[in-house]
Amino acid sequence: MDRETMLQEAAEFIQERDDFLLLTHVQPDGDAYGSTLGMAHLLQTLGKRYTIANEDPVVDKFRFLPMSEKFQLSSEITRSFSHVIALDCGDIRRLGESAALLADEAEILNIDHHKTNDLFGRANLVDLEAAATSQIVFTLAKHLELDLNIGGAICLYTGILTDTGGFRYSNTTVEVHQIVAGLLDVGINPFEISDRVLESLTWNQVQLIREALGSLQRDESGKVAWLSVSRPLLNRLGASDEDAEGLVSYARNVQGVEVGILFREKEDGSIKVSLRSKYRVDVGEIALSFGGGGHARAAGCTMPGPAEQVQLQVLTKVREAIVS
Ligand code: AMP
Ligand code: MN
Ligand code: MN
């Protein structure tokens, strides 16, 4: 389906309904928060009612986002919803526990940019070319002929900024810059946002970088590098799962490396695998084959431990992809 048709279907989905539940993926990143709150600003402008839920509380770093206080814990919501907007989720499993809030016949509008998106919505606004789901929400606002207020612009800018790695990743296109120019026009302060979301590290994060770099290894070819973060390490430092965000780039950024990997032990002993590639390897396909998903250059999956076995499985698959 072409973009205009998808935009029109999404616009009608919103215009013809009210009382929406806005959901994004578990352990939200900047684009998850930004696109969800950007959509909340649009619904507010349209005079529609909405509820925002996630299984996790909003992390400190993103509490500056206007209306972030509207996020509710899904475990504390006692009703169900018939109209759902899912943002930045490639498949329904990414909703985690929040999926329990869907009524039996719930209609879903799926707004996303993941290569592995399985079109789980009643309406699907899925654009694999978009750098961020926040970019798609901007395009939808234009399609609805809505003016963005400053709050909405801050949220969408944050999503685009984080998913493009500060306009450095290969998903940074002419259109991204054009949209961002439109967001700056609304009057946001881009320095303040990048300072908060890209340039600030908590003390725990720096301690974790120091320790995690001790685990950095690469294979004989020099094309694959990886880091491991164990639960005892996180516990010792008092670091959270979010503190490990961004570590994978140390593996990917090593000269000559095509695929960088982070293996992080979760509380339940399962292993979260983050994959990043530079030019060639489709890590989205690799993550998908292990039950996860993502994009061609950034993807992830969660696998049952033990860590050594997960490392072996993932490294074997990655090496196969590199030689093929
Ligand atoms: P991460 O490594 O968690 O930063 O994720 C990189 C990309 O892969 C993001 O776009 C995520 O949405 C996606 N991703 C990460 N983990 C999963 C998963 N378990 N299932 C599907 N997609 C994932
Ligand atoms: Mn995301
Ligand atoms: Mn995204």
Can you list the domains of the chain with their CATH numbers? 3-199 (3.90.1640.10), 203-323 (3.10.310.30)
Distance CA 31, CA 143 (A): 20
pLDDT score at 324: 85
Task: Report pTM.
Answer: 0.96
pLDDT by residue (tens digit) across 255-285?
999 999 999 999 999 999 999 999 999 999 9
What's the gap in Å between 70 CA and the centre of ligand 3?
20
pLDDT score at 61: 95
Taking the CA atoms of the chain, what radius of gyration do you get in angstroms?
19
Q: Assess whether the C-beta atom of 292 lies below 6 angstroms from ligand 1.
A: yes
Task: Give the burial class of 101: count Cβ atoms within 10 A of its Cβ; 0-12 exposed, 13-18 middle, 19 or more buried.
Answer: buried
Which residue has a Cα nearest atom 20 of ligand 1?
Answer: 292
Residue 44: partners with Cβ closer than 8 Å, 6 or more residues away: 50, 67
Q: 3-state class of 21 per DSSP?
A: strand
Q: Which of 239, 28, 44, 55 is nearest to 152 (CA)?
A: 44
pLDDT by residue (tens digit) across 191-228?
999 999 999 999 999 999 999 999 999 999 999 999 99
Mean pLDDT of 87-91: 98
pLDDT score at 315: 98
Structural tokens at position 270: 């399962």
Place of tokens 């439109």: 182
| Alpha-carbon dihedral angle through residues 108, 113, 116, 119, given to the nearest 10 degrees | 30
In single-letter form, the type of residue at position 233 comes to: L
DSSP percent split of the chain into helix, strand, coil, nearest 5: 45, 20, 35
Alpha helix ranges (H) inside the chain: 3-15, 30-45, 133-143, 150-163, 174-185, 190-197, 203-213, 231-237, 248-252, 283-289, 307-323
Q: Is the pLDDT of residue 84 over 90?
A: yes
Maximum CA extent, the chain: 59
Q: Which atom of ligand 1 is nearest to the CA of 29?
A: 4
Mutation test residue for ligand 1: of 23, 25, 126, 261, the one with most atoms within 8 Å of CB: 25
The phi, psi pair for 53, rounded to 5°, reads -140, 150
Give ion ligand 2 contacts, CB < 5 A: 29, 31-32, 88
The phi, psi pair for 22, rounded to 5°, reads -100, 125
pLDDT mean across residues, the chain: 97
The answer to whether 137 touches 35, Cβ cutoff 8 Å, is yes
pLDDT band at 122 (very low <50, low <70, confident <90, very high): very high
Give whole-number Cα distances, 72 to 20, 37, 268, 303, in Å. Answer: 14, 12, 24, 28
Q: Which atom of ligand 1 is nearest to the CA of 262?
A: 2
What's the gap in Å between 294 CA and the centre of ligand 1?
5
pLDDT score at 305: 83
